Structure 1
Amino acid sequence: MQRQKIELYAERTFSRKLSDTFDFLSENGKVLFKFLAYLLLPVSAVQALGMNFYAGDVISIIDNINATDHADFIMHAIIGYAILMLSIMTGAVLSSSLVYGLVRLYGKRQERLQGITMSEMRPVLLTNIWRTVKMGIVIAIIMTMVITLLAVAAVGLGEVAGLGNGAAVLTVFIGIIAVFACGIPLALTLPIYLIEDDSTLWESLTKAFRLGFKTWGGIFGVLFVIGFIVQFIQGVSTMPLYIMLIFKGVLLSSDGAATMVTSPAYTFGMYLFGVVQAFGMYVGYTIIYVATAILYGHAAEKTDGVSVERDVDNFEQMGDDNDDDMALFDSPKP
């Protein structure tokens, strides 16, 4: 028996937002996992390499804290950290582009996501990747400007008011609250931009704020609950790697155990658990992206009545596409 289709644009209670999120994940779990494995496992493999380089060199620096020359360790750690950050950014772009693309196709395809192939997904994925990169650059610029303005305001207020550090702390505190309040609606920006065909970047930003502030509490509540679930999943996937890192840090100073934690087998085990940790992180991201798409659908329906508007447009389109059979009107009366 086929499940009832999950409509994106629908008003939902708090519990239904959560249930629709996990119903979508349950219905399309195999498709999501297949595409995640195809796109994110290679990224996870590189990310684990960077993580091991970075963590291993940091442990070595701490273990040899009294040494006079840490140049090699520091250089390796910087390279590892750069690989790690680039991998995370790449993975975030790919995972968000994939999930929102699948949500979009789920609503458009008669058979939903059943039988979807990478060739069918590729055009949507490439478009979403480019849009995600553009959105990321714009948001990074905006955040840089906000942080700069906060710093300037804190220093300026302190000098003008003569309150010194107290004014600076107060200004930064108020700024953090304002950024947090605006950051909740901002979560809707990417699903709007990637799901809606005709939405421009700036329209997506303004629409996200308009819809987000009207449904602020619901967005915060759902993401708060989802955040706990995601943290648990990511914690489980991260635990084996962290245990091995702790053992390496503790045992590295022991002459007898140092050989074991520096052996190729131990290093390879850390690498495999690093891949698990990275992939688990992207699985967690997937849950957040689906939840955010559901939140956007609720906000758009509650505020703009999108489904009603689309039903009217579809009705008019059906009338325009179907010619009247004039023979019915020209037939002779009995």
Structure 2
Amino acid sequence: MLTDKPKIELYQQRSFGQKFSATFDFLRENIKLWLRASLYTILPICLLQALALEHIGNFFTNITAGMAGANGLTSIISSYMAYVVCIVIGTSMMTSVCYSLMKHYQSSPTGLQGVTLKALRPLIIRNFKRTLKLTFAIGGLFILVMIVLTLFGAIINGVLNNALGVVLLIIGIMVLLVSLSLSMPVYIFEEDTTAFGAIKRGFRLGWPAFLPTLGLIIVIGLLTGILQATTSVPWYLLYMGKAALTISNDAPEITSSPFYNFTLYLTAVLQSFGAYLSMALTLIALAYQYGSIAEAKNSLSVEDDIAHFEQLSEEDKEIDNFDKL
């Protein structure tokens, strides 16, 4: 049975407040499927990420207490690398989950009603690969730009002062990141676009709308920060308690007990999982920001209707032949 709720179109010009409403309406309408997909795809990553986080926390606690081993440096480097890899994979997977849900919702007349994870699996896997590809492409471009900005900052430092060079470097990085924030939605929703083509088009869409996009990121960032803080408090309290007791050498049997360490690990999993869930707000809001700008610039809603014309025609034929069923 078709839902009575109006469909939340991607390619539609929206005001600042309407983008917020569309973001929360989409999550509210598809909350069960989104949470189920997140549990199956993100939680396993969080289990590994929590292990790396625990090892990093123990290392710094032992350093402060003067109990670091000789091979501590190699171990902490490995833990940091594992932690970064988990973050890259987890962020890419959450991006793939959110945008796969939105993509199927956009293309289907009934949205995500009755859709199963098994049916979405091929789309999630394909978008995960595309997300990783664009992430590495943007990462390479970012490193190149960082080198150029650093050299430019060094020149400025020689002419003026160190503070101005640092400020210009920070501003340049911020402008680049905000301007490229629409590249991921471009690459996922416009399948014919190459990775570098998505970066180019994302910059063309993002640069003229720099201030609205920055404002959207800041406001959504405040909300996600509150959600992340909520799920992070248990881990921080337990970790700070363990660090304080270890450094002061008071009641070490408590912090070294299996129950305490296992509880600390579970809160680290909760922290990581909460961070990825809250990230979805920013991802979905940026998708609607992209849809609004793309619609205003290119009227992509018309192209989207044409692309799905055959699908709509087949449904009309089924209705016409209903009396023959």
TM-score (ref. length: structure 1): 0.86
> Secondary structure of the equivalent of 1:214?
coil
Show structure 2 runs of 5+ residues with no match. 317-325
Match 1:175 to one of 169, 172, 175: 169
The equivalences for 1:104-115 within 5 A come to 104-115=103-114
Aligned CA RMSD, in angstroms, stands at 2.3
- Aligned with 1:71: secondary structure? coil
Q: Which runs of 5+ in 1 are unaligned?
A: 323-334
Post-superposition offset of 1:295: 0.6
Matched, 1:123 2:122: yes
TM-aligned CA deviation for residue 317 of structure 1: 10
> Which residue does 1:32 correspond to in 2?
34
Q: Which residue of 1 aligns with 2:300?
A: 306
8 Å CA contact 1:21, 1:291 repeated in 2: yes
8 Å contact from structure 1 (residues 95, 286) kept in 2: yes
CA deviation string 1:18-42 (max 9, x = no partner): 0110000100111100000000111
**2 CA distance for matches of 1:241 and 1:29?**
26
Match of 1:326 in 2: none
**Alignment match, 1:330:** none
Counterpart residue identity of residue 132, structure 1: T
- Highest Rg: 1 or 2? 1
1:55 match: 57
Query: Which amino acid letter does the alignment assign opposite residue 42 of structure 1?
Result: P
> Hey, what's the Cα distance between the residues in 2 that align with 1:101 and 1:114?
14
Contact 2:65 2:247 (C-alpha < 8 Å) held by counterparts: yes
Residue in 2 that maps onto 1:18: 20
Shift of 1:156: 4.4
Residues 1-23 of structure 1: CA distance to partner in whole angstroms, max 9, x if unpaired? 63211000111111111011000
Counterpart in 2 of 1:332? none
> Does the C-alpha gap of structure 1 residues 302 and 121 become closer, same or farther in structure 2, counting only changes over 3 Å?
same
For 1:53 and 1:226, the matched residues in 2 are separated by 31
Name the residue aligned to 1:42: 44
Hey, what does 2:321 align to over in structure 1?
none
Mapping 1:144-159, distance limit 5 Å: 144-156=143-155
- Structure 1 match to 2:320: none
SS in 1 for 2:251: helix
Amino acid of the residue matched to residue 259 of structure 1?
Answer: E
Whether contact under 8 Å (1:52, 1:80) holds in the other structure is no
CA apart distance, 1:107: 0.5
Deviations 1:39-61 (A, max 9, x none): 01111111111111110121011
State the alpha-carbon separation in 2 of the partners of residues 58 and 157 from structure 1: 37
In structure 1, distance between residues paired with 2:109 and 2:215: 32
SS in 2 for 1:303: helix
Give the secondary structure class of the aligned counterpart of 1:252. helix
Match of 1:262? 256
Identity of aligned residues (%): 31
Q: Deviations over 1:45-80 (max 9, x none)?
A: 11111111110121011111xx6x632443433333
**1:331 aligns to what?**
none
Q: Which moved more, 1:168-177 or 1:34-43?
A: 168-177
Structure-to-structure mapping, 1:1-334, within 5 angstroms: 2-64=4-66, 70-156=69-155, 163=159, 166-167=160-161, 169-311=163-305
1:254 to 1:170, Cα distance in 2 relative to 1, 3 A: closer
Q: Give me the whole-angstrom Cα distance separating, in 2, the residues matched to 1:222 and 1:287.
A: 11
Q: Distance in 2 between matches of 1:121 and 1:145?
A: 36
Structure 1: which 4+ aligned runs deviate by more than 4 Å? Answer: 309-319
User: What is the alpha-carbon distance in structure 2 between the residues aligned to residue 316 and residue 72 of structure 1?
Assistant: 63
SS in 1 for 2:207: helix
Letter in 2 for 1:236: T
Cα distance change, pair 246–316 in 1 and its aligned pair in 2 (3 A): closer
Secondary structure, aligned partner of 2:42 = helix
Cα gap change, 1:113/1:62 in structure 2, threshold over 3 Å: closer, same or farther? Answer: same
**Distance in 2, Cα, partners of 1:274 & 1:21:** 27
Amino acid paired to 2:176: C
Question: Post-superposition shift, 1:246?
Answer: 0.5
Distance 1:88 1:149 in 2: 26
Structure-1 separation of matches of 2:44 and 2:309: 46
Structure 1 SS opposite 2:11: coil
User: 1:122 Cα shift?
Assistant: 1.9
Q: Which residue of 2 aligns with 1:325?
A: none
The CA distance in 1 between the partners of 2:252 and 2:39, in whole Å, is: 35
